[in-house]
Structure 1
Amino acid sequence: MDFKHEMIQFNDDIPIKLYNGKVLSKEDPNHINTITKHWHSNIEIFYIITGSIDLWVNSEKYELGHDNLMAININEIHSSQYKQNGEGVLLQIPYEFVKIYYPNIDGISFVCNSTLKSEDGNKYSKLKGMLKDLECIYNERKDGYILKSYSLIFDILFELVTNFSISKPDKESISSRKNLDRLTEIVDYIKDNKKLDLSLEMVAEKVNLTPQYFSKFFKKYMGISYIKYLNSLRLESAYRELINTDLSIINIAIENGFSDVKAFNKLFKNVYGSNPGEYRKNKKG
């Protein structure tokens, strides 16, 4: 399943985005093994029923396996990598929707991670049950399903606010917004120009920072070096073209900003376990 970054298009009938079913299937032709660092103004809940996934949130790595659940806060920088086929539910609730019914959302953050050893696993049971119910109700779409879906969304939010929220200092919110505004400018520019010969110095100049400060700033808040992030964006774009088009591997490599085919092949093999030609043949075979 292909997860979109930052700009989330929500379901037409209810104000959420719900991914469900076999969200970890590598047999899906649109499957992407690794989702690059990104953020968005949504509360995001991962519930892994079976299978496993690695999540990085603010540079911390978490391994979610059987019956694990984790919530990601609004504007937290995160990425993911699917490890083992399975089933799960991914729910995204937009900030604007939550803000209407819970105006204090800016003053709290959620600590909701069932993998933490200090956590009581029992307190997650209700939340897991509601996520399963929401998936079932929405998939079946029986008469009145929208009413029940709204009810479950509010129940989920109530559970998060009541049992998983902590107060957030005002200064932290202000500092976070300032850094996110700068990161947004940087990342938007990189995404728009990732297929060009985009040096660190060029991006630093664009956002009026010295190369040295830019390099430290980017690594501190993204948890990854500039060049690794750039290459991950290029690889993600190249993967889609490899699977969904008949373009030659040379064209895919060059058109996506790689210096040559050798560099593309090496990075692709490190991530997907085989070179692009073999991978394409196996997918289409």
Structure 2
Amino acid sequence: MEVRYELIIPNDDLPFRLFVFEGRDGKYKVTKHWHHSMEIFLVQEGEIDFYINNNHVPLARQDFVLVNSNEVHSIDCPNPNLTIVLQIPGGTFKEYLGEDGYLNFEKKSDIQNIKLVNLVTTMFSIYEKQEYGYRLKVKSHFYELLYLLITEFKTEALDKDTLRQKKQLDKLSDVTQYMRDNYDQDLKLEEVAVRFGFSPTYLSRIFQKYAQVNYRTFLIDLRVKYAVRELVGTEHEIGEIAMNHGFADSRAFSKAFKKRYGCLPSTYRKNMAENR
């Protein structure tokens, strides 16, 4: 199965990630991938083609799709569109998991679907304006949305094939969650493998198979992604940011950063400031 694992980091000071889909200009594809978060794609304008476990789900204006944790999906956007994406960390629903340890959601009646569309649209409008106190307001709608999902969109059971796939991907999800929580520490492959009862060879193999990168590359990607938030959100020195996110020094950070972003951290920070 040629798929990749997508790392999802919530917005600053919010328990979820909310943004406009990057394929808004059209002629854009997202290859098969999966993540531990639950995801909502809501099309505001235009159309996109969604594929979940090889099932085609076309989306038009005011239509949405619910992507459950550990579901393999891909996206094709041949034409311009405006799509809101809400990503909810899998741990958000841990108190409501079924007997098999999983929780799935699916679309329901028109009335219920409209409720969801209105909540997500309102959340995005509040978040986009960022007026005084917006975080409190958007969180209130977010928890209303969670209640709606749990009470009106939850499915009761999973078929055997879906359950088997989720269990396979859960092995890697547990490891990557531990890595997200401890990415700034010295996380050696051998030590992490022992912690989860794997051999280093097995852990390395499932990383390559499901994340499409090796363990070391995934760890460095993780560190860079978190470091970018501090880079653009503070005036901290580059060396301090490097140390805060698990890099040996600013040189190691700059090398990893340039490989992924095509420029040095200082240049990236300057460009972001100018764009703002």
Question: Do they superpose with TM above 0.5?
Answer: yes
Q: 1:238 to 1:72 in 2, by over 3 A?
A: same
**Quick one: which amino acid aligns to residue 276 of structure 1?**
P
Number of residue pairs matched by the alignment: 230
The structural deviation recorded for 1:176 is 3.5
The whole-number CA distance in structure 2 between the counterparts of 1:231 and 1:274 is 16
- RMSD of Structure 2 on Structure 1 (CA): 5.4
Structure 1 residue 71 corresponds to structure 2 residue 66: yes
Q: Which amino acid aligns with 1:88?
A: I
| C-alpha contact (below 8 Å) 1:89/1:131 kept by paired residues | no
Q: 1:276 aligns to what?
A: 265
Aligned with residue 194 of structure 1, among 183, 193, 196? 183
Q: Which amino acid counterpart does residue 168 of structure 1 have in structure 2?
A: D
State the distance in 1 between where 2:250 and 2:209 align: 31
Shift of 1:234: 0.1
Structure 2 residue 118 is the aligned partner of structure 1 residue 133: yes
Determine which of 163, 167, 172 is the counterpart of 1:173.
163
Whether the aligned pair in 2 keeps the contact of 1:242 and 1:276 (CA below 8 Å) is yes
Q: Percent same amino acid among aligned pairs?
A: 28
* Correspondence for 1:215: 204
Match of 2:36 among 36, 39, 63: 39
Q: Determine the structure 1 residue equivalent to 2:84.
A: 88
Output one character per residue of 1:223-281: Cα deviation in whole Å (capped at 9) or x when no partner: 44212221221012111111122222233224322355454334434544432111211
In the alignment, which residue of structure 1 is the partner of 2:10?
4
Give yes or no for contact 2:21–2:85 (8 Å, CA) kept in 1: no
Amino acid at match of 2:159: K
Structure 1 residues 194 and 90, CA gap change in structure 2 (3 angstroms): closer
Structure 2: distance between partners of 1:271 and 1:54: 28
Is contact 1:107–1:168 with CA below 8 Å preserved after alignment? no
Residues 9 and 17, structure 2, Cα contact 8 Å, conserved in 1? no
SS in structure 1 of the partner of residue 66 of structure 2: strand
What TM-score do the two structures reach when normalised by structure 2?
Answer: 0.55
2:193–2:199 Cα contact (<8 Å) kept:
yes
Q: Residue in 2 aligned with 1:247?
A: 236
- Looking at structure 2, the residues matched to 212 and 168 of structure 1 have their Cα atoms a distance apart, in angstroms, of 31
Deviation at 1:54? 12
- AA of the residue aligned to 1:73: N
Secondary structure, aligned partner of 1:49: strand
Residue of structure 1 in register with 2:222 after alignment: 233
Structure 1 pair 229–175 and aligned structure 2 pair: CA distance change class (3 A): same
Question: 1:109-153: per-residue Cα shift (whole Å, max 9, x none)?
Answer: 6788xxxxxxxxxxx99997554433456769xxxx99xx78x94
Give the corresponding residue for 1:121: none
TM-score for both structures, normalised by structure 1: 0.54
Deviations 1:5-35 (A, max 9, x none): 9xx84xxxxxxx794xx6459xxxxxxxxxx
Evaluate the alpha carbon distance shift between residue 52 and residue 239 of structure 1 in structure 2; reply closer, same or farther with a 3 A threshold.
farther
Paired residue for 2:192, among 176, 179, 203? 203
CA contact (8 A) 1:24 1:51 kept: no
* Local SS of the residue matching 2:241: helix
Separation (CA, whole Å) in 2 of partners of 1:230 and 1:189: 11
1:95-110 map, 5 Å: 95=93
Structure 1 unmatched ranges of 5 or more: 10-16, 26-35, 113-123
Q: Following TM superposition, by how much is the alpha carbon of 1:88 offset from its aligned partner in structure 2, in angstroms?
A: 1.6
Unaligned runs of 5+ in 2: 1-7, 23-32, 127-139
Partners of 1:224 and 1:52 lie apart in 2 by: 31
